[in-house]
Structure 1
């Protein structure tokens, strides 16, 4: 109800009760309010939102650079004077310069820690030739160039194999027949995670198939094609129609063409014709190693050779092939057959006489790269060696350390692995050449 309407009603009521006219009541002085009682002001009128024009640019996290507040249109709220104090310092770090425009590849090339990681697969056997299991990283010590290297990675997990299977077709016919019959058992020694490529050599290497799944249908078909009849043993002769001087007269050689007959026109009955044997083992291992070096990291690279180990007539030298193997982390395993598998003769064949054929060059590759060489003479033994060697190659102790040597120097680095167990045989590679595959970022 309005305040004026209440005043008129109250004056009419008092005039009627006191006998006063309304005009007299209107002339009566009004009652003063106490001095301490203040009039209640009206609420401020609604204000329209102030415009943002004139405030300047807005910076995220800072706001407008203007420190002067907008003036209020209400007369009821006292207007504050502009502050003369500087704004408080910001506690949040603000980037003032833009970052470099880099792709993820650029970032990876800028944040680099070059470390030469060296992987050393190790096989440990007891005095009976059986693998020793249950060893931990505390049982191993690795020395590179006579300097102890702490282990960075140690694992006993089985690794998938990339096997380059090399068949010697220069074997004698009787030994070659055993090898041909055993090839059907080779696929049974492989797991579904393995892959295999098949090579052979006689007078030069040959690749039958590139790397394919170990349990695929291609493997037995290619192994059947890789069978050979072998060769027959040849013996030196110094008489008869195959001798250097087929016809003699008074101790001399009868020949109208002295340049053809060995020993000249006079002849020499003591001259022995030695048949030449071609065994291109170096070339075959090098060809298999080149194909094997393209396999991805994480797979164990193996060259498996079934041969008598003889070497003669290769274009590649043993030193160059071994350098390539040690630079690409390739181990050579083998099954020795023929003369190299006989007791006693197998050890003698490892020796080499100057200017003669190498009777067992395969043994040098195996020992230098950390592989295993098994000697078998029977068909059953050859078949069992496939499963035995592939199992040992798959289940090894893998040691990884960071080399203290310079990143790239191209020098050979000697490796020695020691095991804190008495009476065990430690099989590991003797050394390596550094390559770009060992560098980790």
Structure 2
């Protein structure tokens, strides 16, 4: 995370039209609200133990006293296993109860946790997904899941469990593509660990990125209150520096 950038280093566009940056600040050590979504479908049954270990390690590694996290499992349906808490021990205890069965309702899990939980929360919000990315059971579509995550201002980070050599089962390029799209559209990213030891580094990167961000605000030149999707692009004028950001938002309707 580069800490020396200023407002003048950034250029912001909405639907290809440059916008004037009105507010700019660097935020650090932010409290987090995290929803951890664990895929417990039959397709990941051989990887469930890894997922449980990864989920437990994630909470112990990332969660601080000022943070709140919930645990969601999804197979053919979506279940809130543990509501928001800052108690890692309580979350770890519930992780041990997870069992693999049924299909995969990834999109439903994202949609419901965004609509029923995250949209009501304030501050920095993240959805962390442990999955192979293959949805087979959702009533929601990929686009509907993305839209609801954007409306809830949730940043999606995904940890793929697809690597064949690591898990002893086949990998899914299509599943990884889905996870990548979900993450990138909301300003997050995908981690594809080849060995267990890489997980800790992934968790620390997620924590660091979520707690240390630049906050850029502007008043859109498009005054229409039509509920439409507005595509956002941010460019940084600094050699060797990349930027991740939420790719858009939905305009208000009233």
* TM > 0.5 fold call: yes
1:402 corresponds, among 206, 211, 219, to 219
Q: Which residue is equivalent to 1:138?
A: 8
Q: Which residue is equivalent to 2:22?
A: 152
Q: Which residue is equivalent to 1:119?
A: none
Aligned pairs for 1:223-302 within 5 A: 223-225=95-97, 227-228=98-99, 230=100, 278-290=103-115, 291-296=117-122, 299-302=123-126
Instruction: Classify the secondary structure of the residue corresponding to 1:293.
Output: helix
- Report if aligned partners of 1:331, 1:366 keep a CA contact under 8 Å in 2: yes
Aligned residues: 247
The answer to whether 1:178 aligns with 2:50 is: yes
- Report if aligned partners of 2:119, 2:151 keep a CA contact under 8 Å in 1: no
CA–CA separation in structure 2 for the residues paired with 1:138 and 1:395: 19
Answer 1 or 2: which has greater helix percent: 2
Structure 1: gaps spanning 5 or more residues:
1-130, 232-276, 351-357
Instruction: Classify the secondary structure of the residue corresponding to 2:246.
Output: coil
- Report if aligned partners of 1:143, 1:149 keep a CA contact under 8 Å in 2: yes
Structure 2: gaps spanning 5 or more residues:
none
- The structural deviation recorded for 1:416 is 0.7
CA–CA separation in structure 2 for the residues paired with 1:330 and 1:198: 15
1:163 corresponds, among 26, 30, 34, to 34
- The structural deviation recorded for 1:360 is 4.3
CA–CA separation in structure 1 for the residues paired with 2:103 and 2:188: 25
- The structural deviation recorded for 1:406 is 1.5
1:206 corresponds, among 46, 55, 79, to 79
CA–CA separation in structure 2 for the residues paired with 1:427 and 1:183: 24
Structure 1's 182 and 324: CA in aligned 2 closer, same or farther, altered over 3 A?
A: closer
CA–CA separation in structure 2 for the residues paired with 1:412 and 1:294: 21
- The structural deviation recorded for 1:363 is 1.8
Structure 1's 387 and 417: CA in aligned 2 closer, same or farther, altered over 3 A?
A: same
Instruction: Classify the secondary structure of the residue corresponding to 1:141.
Output: strand
1:303 corresponds, among 112, 117, 127, to 127
- Report if aligned partners of 1:168, 1:202 keep a CA contact under 8 Å in 2: yes
Larger Cα-atom Rg: 1
- The structural deviation recorded for 1:433 is 0.5
Residue-by-residue CA offset, 1:83-132 (whole Å, 9 max, x unaligned):
xxxxxxxxxxxxxxxxxxxxxxxxxxxxxxxxxxxxxxxxxxxxxxxx33
Residue-by-residue CA offset, 1:32-55 (whole Å, 9 max, x unaligned):
xxxxxxxxxxxxxxxxxxxxxxxx
Residue-by-residue CA offset, 1:161-216 (whole Å, 9 max, x unaligned):
11111011125343222222233322221222211111011121111122122x45
- The structural deviation recorded for 1:335 is 0.9
- Report if aligned partners of 2:44, 2:132 keep a CA contact under 8 Å in 1: no
- If the length of structure 1 is used for normalisation, what is the TM-score? 0.52
- Report if aligned partners of 1:279, 1:310 keep a CA contact under 8 Å in 2: yes
Structure 1's 278 and 184: CA in aligned 2 closer, same or farther, altered over 3 A?
A: closer
- The structural deviation recorded for 1:217 is 4.3
- If the length of structure 2 is used for normalisation, what is the TM-score? 0.87
- The structural deviation recorded for 1:414 is 1.0
CA–CA separation in structure 2 for the residues paired with 1:139 and 1:304: 30
Structure 1's 216 and 423: CA in aligned 2 closer, same or farther, altered over 3 A?
A: closer
- The structural deviation recorded for 1:369 is 0.9
- Report if aligned partners of 1:338, 1:377 keep a CA contact under 8 Å in 2: no
The answer to whether 1:385 aligns with 2:202 is: yes
CA–CA separation in structure 1 for the residues paired with 2:176 and 2:150: 23
- The structural deviation recorded for 1:374 is 0.9
